Amino acid sequence: MATLETMQFPTLVEEIAGHAVGQLAKQFGTPLYVYDAATIAERIGDLAPFDAVRFAQKACSNLAILDLVRRHGAVVDAVSAYEIRRALAAGFTVGDGTTGDDETPQIFYTADLFDRESLDLVVEYKIPVNCGSPDMIDQYGARLPGGQITLRINPGFGHGHSRKTNTGGDGSKHGIWHEQLDDCVERAKRNKLTITGLHMHIGSGTDLEHLSQVCGAMEKAAHVVGPTLRSISAGGGLPTPYREDDKRVDLAAYFDLWDATRNRLATTYGNPISLEIEPGRYLTAESGSLLAEIRAIKHMGEKLYYLVDAGFNNLARPILYGSYHPMAICHSNGERGGPTSGTVEAIIGGPLCESGDIFTQEEGGYVCTRTLPEAAVGDYLVIGCAGAYGAVMGSNYNSKPLAAEVLVENGKANLIRSRQTFDDVIRGEVIP
């Protein structure tokens, strides 16, 4: 289990996961995502007390990352037809579709709706489903009467690192409203479906205080469903440190709360209840760095801008949520910096033709500066804690190719996604 109370993020680095930054940049080009497999393995290990660690692959769904989490014993969540296909392509298997006592399904589909393709796919592969809307119960029941389902409940409250990542309360579209659970139990019966599990996910990047409130809501909901219940899921949302003074979440305290909840339910109904957790960010955020090259340095009035070759097409979290990521410089000429090297207050921007393409901004779009070692064109910028909701939220805006991705495992840096080519970027486009 990670022991560091608070984090240290140096602003001058030479290596990522034991590999020289300049070497990685030369070998694979920039912008480049680099993931450290050991960090992901360690984070999965932190959650070992839970019966199942279900990776919310939306955080980082590269096939090699899915394969890695699978090899380390995690199972996986899918929120779309192609996330199901990714899980299958990465070697996760499907069972008989049950959520029985002794089998943890390797793939689970959790969503608030079935598009037609995802409904066909869960039926074809018998992927267990976690329904986030009453309509899903009817649609699934019409295709697989006699089956089993779990329900995602919106407990009426939520919390996230941003309003945009709060998934509870009536301002959120997610989950079945807690007061409609009775009705959904009836719906399930009408469709000859058994409700075997309940799930609550109140938001992403929340805190222990809010997460802990979910246990009580879960227990209340569980009594509405009753003795058919075999599993409960605490959802995701575990925070990870992004700033030096961020503290690690007290996982032992969190597990104890959920364990006590599950034990009370197991005693009441005389069945074992399995306890799942569904982290995305917690498993991959800290493992990933986005490596970019400084390509221009300019002064605008009093302000200093370092412009790098990665933009919000590569890492959208700052422009979307005002998210803070640790940043460091690596001098390309081998200069080590040190106590005598000066620091500057720099605004870090990308190459996109849009004013919001700034990595140093707060929610609301307010541009701020970062204290960094003085750098030159050709030096590198390493954006840390970028392994969750980084590459996966990439786009081709401004016809920029998606970044390449590298996974460092057992000391070896392996390319796990090649940089898109021009042909990749225009694939599917047609001049009639």
Other C-beta atoms closer than 10 Å to the C-beta of 367 total: 15
Q: How far is the CB of 385 from ligand LLP (least distance, A)?
A: 11
Q: Which residues bind ligand LLP (CB under 6 A)?
A: 56, 58-59, 110, 165, 167, 201, 204-205, 235-238, 278-282, 317, 321, 388-389
Q: Compute the distance between CA of residue 350 and CA of residue 313 in angstroms, rounded to an integer.
A: 9
Q: How far is the CB of 167 from ligand LLP (least distance, A)?
A: 6
Q: Rounding to the nearest 10 degrees, give the CA dihedral for residues 140, 142, 144, 146.
A: 110
Residue 322, CB-side half-sphere exposure with 13 Å CA sphere: 13
Q: How far is the CB of 207 from ligand LLP (least distance, A)?
A: 11
Q: Burial letters for 157-174: b for 16+ Cβ neighbours within 10 Å, e otherwise?
A: bbbbbeeebbbbbeebeb
Of the pair 278, 293, the CB lying nearest ligand LLP is at: 278
Collapse the DSSP code of 386 into the 3-class scheme (helix H, G, I; strand E, B; otherwise coil) and give the result.
coil
Taking Cα atoms as reference points, which of 326, 296, 325, 323 lies closest to residue 309?
Answer: 296
**Residue labelled with tokens 């486009």:** 429
Of the pair 236, 401, the CB lying nearest ligand LLP is at: 236
Q: How far is the CB of 162 from ligand LLP (least distance, A)?
A: 7
Distances (CA, A) of 397 to 33, 83, 316, 363: 18, 23, 11, 21
**Residue labelled with tokens 């899903």:** 136
Of the pair 211, 404, the CB lying nearest ligand LLP is at: 211
Q: Compute the distance between CA of residue 286 and CA of residue 7 in angstroms, rounded to an integer.
A: 11
Q: Specify the DSSP element, H or E, that contains 93.
A: none
Contact 44, 283 (CB under 8 A): yes
Q: Compute the distance between CA of residue 224 and CA of residue 151 in angstroms, rounded to an integer.
A: 12
Of the pair 196, 206, the CB lying nearest ligand LLP is at: 206
Taking Cα atoms as reference points, which of 378, 343, 371, 401 lies closest to residue 25?
Answer: 378
Q: How far is the CB of 268 from ligand LLP (least distance, A)?
A: 26
Q: How far is the CB of 56 from ligand LLP (least distance, A)?
A: 4
Q: How far is the CB of 57 from ligand LLP (least distance, A)?
A: 9
Instruction: Estimate to the nearest angstrom the gap between the alpha carbon of 51 and the chain centroid.
Output: 20
Of the pair 207, 354, the CB lying nearest ligand LLP is at: 207
Q: How far is the CB of 403 from ligand LLP (least distance, A)?
A: 16
List the beta bridge partners of residue 98.
none
Residue 294, CB-side half-sphere exposure with 13 Å CA sphere: 27
- Tell me if residue 131 is catalytic: no
Q: How far is the CB of 154 from ligand LLP (least distance, A)?
A: 11
Catalytic residue from among 131, 184, 215, 353: 353
Q: Alpha helix (H) ranges present in 226-370? A: 251-269, 281-284, 317-321
Q: Specify the DSSP element, H or E, that contains 330.
A: strand 327-330
Instruction: Estimate to the nearest angstrom the gap between the alpha carbon of 262 and the chain centroid.
Output: 25
Of the pair 131, 330, the CB lying nearest ligand LLP is at: 131
Residue 274 phi, psi (nearest 5): -85, 150
Helix axes 134-143, 116-125, angle to 10 degrees: 50
Instruction: Estimate to the nearest angstrom the gap between the alpha carbon of 48 and the chain centroid.
Output: 19
Of the pair 83, 309, the CB lying nearest ligand LLP is at: 83
**Residue labelled with tokens 């720099």:** 346
Other C-beta atoms closer than 10 Å to the C-beta of 190 total: 12
Q: Specify the DSSP element, H or E, that contains 75.
A: strand 75-78
Active site residues: 353
